[in-house]
Each structure stands twice: as structure tokens, then as C-alpha cells.
Amino acid sequence: MSDTSGDYLIKLAEERGKLSRLVMGGAAWMMGGALVVSSIGLAVWAFGNHELTPLVNIFDKLVTGILALVGAWVGAVIAFYFARDNFESASTQAQKSFGMSQNEQLAAIKVTDMGVMIDVSTALKLEVDPSDFDATVLQTAFIAPMAAKGYKRMPIFNKSGGVGLGVLHLSTINEYLVKLAVKPAAAPPSPPSGRVPTVEDATLGDLVKSLPTDITLQSAVAFVPRTATLLDVQIAMKSQNDSQGKSGMGCEDVFVTSNGDSKEKVIGWITNVKLREKAAFAG
């Protein structure tokens, strides 16, 4: 990658000066040598034929050809030497401009702008209180509705206040059900105590209880205020992912509330897919 320091530029100028003198000197020697040899040959030919008109025509074409050849050679050498550094410099500048431009454009897009956040009032969702998680069967409450719409995720809201409880992804459900379906190689020495969920009757409560310690459905969601921009959404999503570490489910959804408080009613929902779409457009 090109260096833009003063010492480098001085050294580069010196090298280009040497190259220019070398190329022009070589070109002069080539032209001079070609003209001398050609002149001697043509003179011998003219002396034997005693005609000057053909000699003048041949000499004119010869000089024109030599000039064109030498000019092309000089241009090719200089272009080859100068182009690489110019390309690297332009490429570096373009990359910097791209990064700045994308962030600036994301910062200019409000979450309340048209087509940015999903209106939760019309979205496919589940409204349920946490006390009813154990009675919410995954097959009927999530899998069937998502399959009918072709969706791969569904937000969950508190039935009584519209508070965002999380977003359940089809991949998370499938991963949990696969674990239930896989039988252990050897039967346990004694029957396990308590409820043993199956693929058919597993509930939202069963899934939540299977999550790692300190991980909840809500911890996989970030919250931003309605005054936020898409740059804020991007930062919030990354921050939530970093806080979860490798044991988390990963944050791919952001809820929009009045002040960005997780205990407030959700007014909008932004997915990682929408963020990537807007980021690509901004870039």
C-alpha cells in the first residue's frame, strides 16, 4: 500500500526523475543509432542506383516508423512504472471514503423513516405473558404460523403491555427439537425427574429452560429509542452480541421503543437482514 509520508514522496520523485532521464536517454540513443544505420544503408543503395526520389520516400517512412516505435516504448515504460503507485493510492483513498460514506449514510437514516422498521401492530407475532410460556406449544404457536407465511423468525410480546420479550428464530426451535429427538446411546440408570418434553408437545417454557445460564430470549435482542439512526442500530446489535459472548444465541433483532428502555412498549422492529440491506444500499 502506498506511503504518503514526506520522505517517501521525495524518494519517489528522485526515482521517477532517474527513470525519466534513463528512458529519454535510451530513446535518444535508439533513435540516433537507428537513423545512422539506416542512413548508411540507404546511402549505399542510392549510390548504386543513382536515384534520389525513392531514397527520400523510404527515408521518410523509416523515420516515421522509428519515431512511432520509440514513442510507444517510452509511453509503455512510464505508464507501467507510474500506474501501480497511482492505483494503490486511489484504492486506499476509495476504501477510506467508502467506510466513512457508509457510516455517514447510516447515521442519516432514522429508524422511523418509511420502510426501515417493521410495524409490530401488523407483524406476525405472539402475544403471551411469561406465566403462560409452559402452556405455549412450539408446534402450534410458532412452527405452523411461520410455515404458513414462509417466515423464519417471530417476535414475542407481553400480552398485557406490549413489552418485547424476545424474537424466536426457526433455527433455534429446530436446534432444540433435534436435541429432543436424538436418543442417548445408553438409557440412563434411573428415569429423569419432572417433565420430559417431546418434539410434539415441547413448549416455549421448555425451550427457555434449556438455554444457558444468564441467557434469556430478551438478552438476544437490543433496544434503541425512536430517535435512533441505523448506525445506532448497528452499534447496539454489535454491543449486544459482544456482551453475550460465545454462549449467547446471537443478536439479530432490535426493538424500537420510545426511549430505548426494554420495559417500554415496542413500536417497531428491525432485523439484521434489513440492516444489511440498508447498509449495502448506503455503500
Q: What is the pLDDT of residues 222-262, one digit of tens each?
A: 999 999 999 999 999 999 988 876 656 789 999 999 999 99
pLDDT confidence of residue 46 = 60
Over the stretch 190-201, which tens digit does the pLDDT of each residue have? 555 577 899 999
Query: Of 95 and 31, which is predicted with more confidence?
Result: 31
Over the stretch 95-134, which tens digit does the pLDDT of each residue have? 554 555 778 889 999 999 999 999 999 999 999 999 999 9
pLDDT confidence of residue 140 = 97
Over the stretch 58-100, which tens digit does the pLDDT of each residue have? 656 666 666 666 666 556 655 655 555 555 555 555 555 455 5
**Percent of the chain predicted with pLDDT > 90:** 46
Query: Of 12 and 237, which is predicted with more confidence?
Result: 237
pLDDT confidence of residue 2 = 46
Return the closest-CA partner of residue 256 out of 132, 129, 163: 163
159 — pLDDT class (breaks 50, 70, 90): very high
4 — pLDDT class (breaks 50, 70, 90): very low
- pTM (2 decimals)? 0.62
207 — pLDDT class (breaks 50, 70, 90): very high
pLDDT confidence of residue 1 = 45
CA distance 196 to 201: 10
pLDDT confidence of residue 278 = 84
> Does the pLDDT at position 268 exceed 90?
yes
Taking the CA atoms of the chain, what radius of gyration do you get in angstroms?
A: 37
CA distance 204 to 196: 14
Q: Where are the alpha helices (DSSP H) in 109-253?
A: 138, 144-149, 170-181, 204-210, 230-244
- Contacts with 222 (C-beta within 8 Å, 6 or more apart), sequence order: 233, 236, 237, 239, 240, 251, 253, 254, 255
CA distance 268 to 110: 12
Return the closest-CA partner of residue 268 out of 278, 277, 258, 276: 258
pLDDT confidence of residue 5 = 47
Q: Where are the alpha helices (DSSP H) in 108-160?
A: 138, 144-149
